[in-house]
Structure 1
Amino acid sequence: MLAEVLARAGDLVGRWEREDCGVVTAKEFRRYAAAVDDTGYLRAARAAEAAGRPVTAPPLFLTGILSWEDGPVEAELRPDGLAARESPCTRGLPVRQVHGGQSVRLGSPLVAGARVRADRAVRSAEAKRGRSGAFVALAVTTRFTGEDGTELASVDETIIVMDQA
């Protein structure tokens, strides 16, 4: 199966896919902050909104959202718990995945009411071998930009793909 992952990745490397994430709201920022227990942000965001000031997103809001869709129902999740759309090069294959690390660069602050785009590409795919056996390391980049092209955040991550045990 790992050879198939590498073959599929070869077709995707360097090909950017764009997703319109829509217009973000202060309520979404507060829901995220509540989920990560950032009560200081919640107080500050409510105060800014009540005073009519712009509400900016928590710093890791964009990188903490796995998907901009409603999400799949439980029966549609892969055995490793991921949604199929979050699994480049692996759709329908009996593999499991884990995250192998992430590097985040923050850009301009994201303000409620802004439209966000996410551009994602597989940068590379490499066959490797570790203590637990063979795996493929997928390097993926996601860039979040505003409607005018201003970079809001960029994420470089590694996804480890292994044969299903």
Structure 2
Amino acid sequence: MSALDEVLARARALVDRWEDEDCGTLTVKDFCRYAAALNDTDYIREAREQEAKGAPVEAPALFLASTMSWEDGPVEQELRPDGLAARESPCTQGLPVRQVHGGQSVRLTRAPLAGTRVTASRTVTSVEYKKGRSGDFVLLGVTTRYTAPDGGELTAVDETIVVLDALAPGTDT
């Protein structure tokens, strides 16, 4: 069985099987760190002013959708050759494949507030084996829903992941 056939089999077994991850309680500090990475000093100033007044502080619009993991993350030596953490590579663990992202759609339902405990629920929604000019590949559809304790959706991300055979040794593309 080829690596792509194995990805296909693994993905088909996961379609519509949701896995939940507790993201913890969001903080103004988390929001400001994200804003600092974007050089959004206006957001940081406004968020800290709201916090000082005891007013609710909303997360930046794409905060949840932009967070790949709620863990500290792997050390560099544990990253896959394509730069992704094994955890962020559905259906590909241990296989000689690489991935590229084929697009993303984000639904911003309601802004999370600092102090909100968030759950991320993720599933494989679709899987297709394709043949292209440059070779075979698998398209994975993945959805992640971020919800508040009341079950209400905050943000949802639908993405397409393209899984390709790993590059042959000695190639650089």
2-side partners of 1:130 and 1:36: how far apart? 36
1-side partners of 2:78 and 2:166: how far apart? 17
| Other structure's SS at 1:111 match | coil
Gaps of 5+ in 1: none
Aligned to 2:59: 57
Corresponding residue to 1:20 among 19, 22, 36: 22
- Deviation, 1:115, is 0.2
2-side partners of 1:54 and 1:23: how far apart? 14
- Deviation, 1:80, is 0.4
Residue 37 of structure 1 aligns with an amino acid whose one-letter code is: N
| Other structure's SS at 2:90 match | coil
Instruction: Work out whether 1:32 is the aligned partner of 2:34.
Output: yes
2-side partners of 1:112 and 1:92: how far apart? 37
- Deviation, 1:121, is 0.1
Runs of 4+ with deviation above 4 angstroms: none
TM normalised by structure 1 equals: 0.98
Report the count of equivalent residues: 165
2-side partners of 1:45 and 1:91: how far apart? 39
1-side partners of 2:49 and 2:22: how far apart? 29
Aligned to 2:47: 45
Superposition RMSD in Å: 0.7
Aligned to 1:110: 112
Identity across the alignment (%):
67
- Deviation, 1:44, is 1.1
Aligned to 2:4: 2
- Deviation, 1:133, is 1.3
Aligned to 2:70: 68
Residue 86 of structure 2 aligns with an amino acid whose one-letter code is: A
Residue 128 of structure 2 aligns with an amino acid whose one-letter code is: E
1-side partners of 2:69 and 2:134: how far apart? 30
Residue 84 of structure 2 aligns with an amino acid whose one-letter code is: L
Instruction: Work out whether 1:124 is the aligned partner of 2:137.
Output: no
TM normalised by structure 2 equals: 0.93
| Other structure's SS at 1:20 match | strand
Aligned to 1:11: 13
2-side partners of 1:87 and 1:132: how far apart? 22
